[in-house]
Amino acid sequence: MTGMKLKAALLVILASIAPAAAWDGTSIHNCTWCHGTSGQGYTVAPRLAGQRPAYVESQIRSFRDHSRDNPFSRQYMWGAVAALGPRAASDLAAYFATIHPKPANDGNPALTAKGKTIYMDGIPEANIASCYACHGPNAEGVRDIPRLGGLSYFYLKSRLVQWGQGYHSGMGTPMPVVARSLGPDEIEALASYISFVR
Ligand code: HEC
Ligand code: HEC
Looking at the 3D structure of the chain, how many domains does it have?
2
Integer CA distances (angstroms), 46 to 35, 61, 141, 160, 175, in order: 6, 17, 16, 14, 18
Atom number, ligand 1, closest to the C-alpha of residue 30:
37
Residue 3: per-residue pLDDT: 55
Atom number, ligand 2, closest to the C-alpha of residue 130:
37
Query: Which residue, among 154, 11, 41, has the nearest Cα to 102 in the 3D structure?
Result: 41
Atom number, ligand 2, closest to the C-alpha of residue 159:
29
Residue 152 lies in a domain: yes
Cβ–ligand 2 contact at 175 (below 6 Å): yes
> Percent helix, strand, coil in the chain (nearest 5)?
55, 5, 40
Residue 33's domain comprises 25-97
Q: Distance (Å, rounded) from C-alpha 93 to C-alpha 90?
A: 5
The Å distance, Cα 129 to ligand 1 centre, comes to: 27
Q: Which residues of the chain have pLDDT under 70?
A: 1-26
Residues 21-54 as b/e (b if ≥16 CB within 10 A, e otherwise) read bebeebebebbbebbbebbbbeeebbbbbbbbbb
Q: What is the pTM of this model?
A: 0.90
Residue 12: per-residue pLDDT: 47
Q: Are residues 58 and 115 in the same domain?
A: no
Q: Are residues 85 and 146 in the same domain?
A: no
Residue 48: per-residue pLDDT: 98
Residue 29: per-residue pLDDT: 87
